[in-house]
Amino acid sequence: MSFVDLCLSGEVLEDEIDDFVEQWHENDELNIELHEYLGMTWEEYSIWAMNPSILPFILSARKKNITFDAKINQERHAMAARAESASEARKLEAWLKLIGKSP
């Protein structure tokens, strides 16, 4: 089972993802890409690699069986509201635009 599958089933915690990344790096016999090993799509992985704090949104989208894009659109305002400052909120919005997730 992948990290995402194990996380959704409650068998591992979100903060254990680094252990999975390390396991992938240490196992020379694996013939799959890291995003596949983690159980992420390429898009999810690319976004997570740029901003690891996005992992809860990836998992929530999977749990609700909706696309990551739909989840980000639902959460855009909540993410900005959780920002510690207006500057951080602007950085978040700029990041969403950079990855093509903001109008």
pLDDT tens digits for range 6-65:
999 999 999 999 999 999 999 988 889 999 999 999 988 988 888 888 898 899 889 989
**Rounded to whole angstroms, what are the CA distances from 79 to 5, 56, 92?**
24, 11, 8
Residue 103 lies in a domain: no
The answer to whether the beta carbons of residues 14 and 56 sit under 8 Å apart is yes
Domain that holds residue 37: 3-98
**Rounded to whole angstroms, what are the CA distances from 1 to 19, 38, 62, 78?**
14, 9, 15, 31
Q: What is the pLDDT of residue 15?
A: 94
The number of domains in the chain is 1
- Count other C-beta atoms under 10 Å from residue 20's C-beta: 19
Q: What is the pLDDT of residue 84?
A: 60
Q: How are the residues of the chain apportioned to helix, strand and coil, as percentages rounded to the nearest 5?
A: 70, 0, 30
Residue 61 lies in a domain: yes
Q: What is the pLDDT of residue 52?
A: 86
Q: Residue 68's pLDDT band (boundaries 50, 70, 90)?
A: confident
Residue 33 lies in a domain: yes
Query: What is the end-to-end Cα distance of the chain in Å, rounded?
Result: 36
Q: What is the pLDDT of residue 85?
A: 63
Residue 14 lies in a domain: yes
